[in-house]
Structure 1
Amino acid sequence: MTDINDMPGYLIRRLHQISVAIFTARTAEAGFDLTPVQYGALATVNRYPGIDQVTLAGCIAYDKATIGGVVDRLIQKGYLKRDVSPSDRRARVLDLTDEGRAVLEAATPIVAEVQDQSLSGLSEEEARTLLDLLKKATDAGNSLSRAPLRAAPQPK
């Protein structure tokens, strides 16, 4: 029987746990009430103002059923606003509020540090290699996910 410490799925889950723990601690120390998924949603809405929820879910590889709760929490925190789409009255589009923009701007350097800290046991070259391999593996398995990454719209 193979030791679980030699299984990629187990190691990926552990690295994810570590990364989330570092993210949570560092953002809380800075006074932010933000999860990694919420940060990803804010960063994506910032890049694509007026994006709809379904497209947002695809851009961050999050399932459509759960993205609504993420968006609702960001609206409750005052970081996002949801409006009727000017091109389709049935659709809702998302934009950052001024407070959301300020939180994103202040949190981004912290999130960059978290990324470095998550791979602190690696040299720069090893970290680049790991990232390249992780991208290759996730690209290869994207269609197998219950929430595959979808192509982003052209930035406005």
Structure 2
Amino acid sequence: MSFVEETVGYMIRRVQERMFAAFHRRFADSGLTPAAYATLATIDRNPGVRQGRIAEELGLQNSNMVNLIKSLVERGFVERHRSASDNRVFTLTLSSAGKLFIEKMNERALALDAEYTRSLSDEERRTLIELLGKMITDPQ
């Protein structure tokens, strides 16, 4: 094992590459990218969320969210609503088609996650998620 293989960043990157490849295979017919799936899932759990909040939550640039949201609206999965409290702000909800679609995609995502983490015990999986969460929320 080389020095680089003993670094957390390198190992996370390798896992990410493998998970993205598996995601693209499993979701190829859906036309979703990992970011689009995560966006739909976030809107599903947070109806009325603002676009900027999704970008913040997912670690994406707000400028990238514009085209992503636009494509999800065009596909009929997401609806944009002007905020009642601030006309400059739009909130996002899933359409009926979006709700049905995300239910199916969540089933795929859960199956993929189970497949990808099958070598971990339930406790190891929870610990991994907890440790990665700590790294994500560290203000650095």
Range class of TM-score, shorter chain: 0.7 to 0.9
Deviation of 1:24 after TM superposition, in Å, equals 1.4
| 1:110 alignment partner AA | R
Residue 73 (structure 2) aligns with: 75
Q: d(CA) in 2 for partners of 1:96 and 1:67?
A: 16
Structure with more contact order per residue of length (Cα contacts < 8 Å, sep ≥ 6) = 1
| 1:16 alignment partner AA | Q
Deviation of 1:60 after TM superposition, in Å, equals 2.2
Residue 21 (structure 2) aligns with: 21
| 1:94 alignment partner AA | L
TM-score (norm 2): 0.87
Q: d(CA) in 2 for partners of 1:93 and 1:129?
A: 34
Task: State the percentage of identical aligned residues.
Answer: 30
Q: d(CA) in 2 for partners of 1:59 and 1:128?
A: 20
Structure 1 stretches of 5 or more lacking a match? 145-156
Matches within 5 A, 1:69-148: 69-140=67-138, 143-144=139-140
Per mean C-alpha deviation after superposition, the further-off stretch among 49-58 and 118-127 is 118-127
| 1:25 alignment partner AA | R
The one-character-per-residue Cα deviations of 1:59-88 (angstroms, maximum 9, x if unpaired) are 223222211121112112221122222222
Question: What is the aligned length?
Answer: 139
Higher helix fraction (1 or 2): 2
TM-score (norm 1): 0.79
Structure 2 stretches of 5 or more lacking a match? none
| 2:81 alignment partner AA | D
Q: d(CA) in 2 for partners of 1:51 and 1:124?
A: 31
Residue 11 (structure 2) aligns with: 11
| 1:135 alignment partner AA | G
Q: Which of 60, 82, 86 is residue 58 of structure 2 equivalent to?
A: 60
Partner-residue secondary structure (3-state), 2:30? coil
Deviation of 1:118 after TM superposition, in Å, equals 2.3
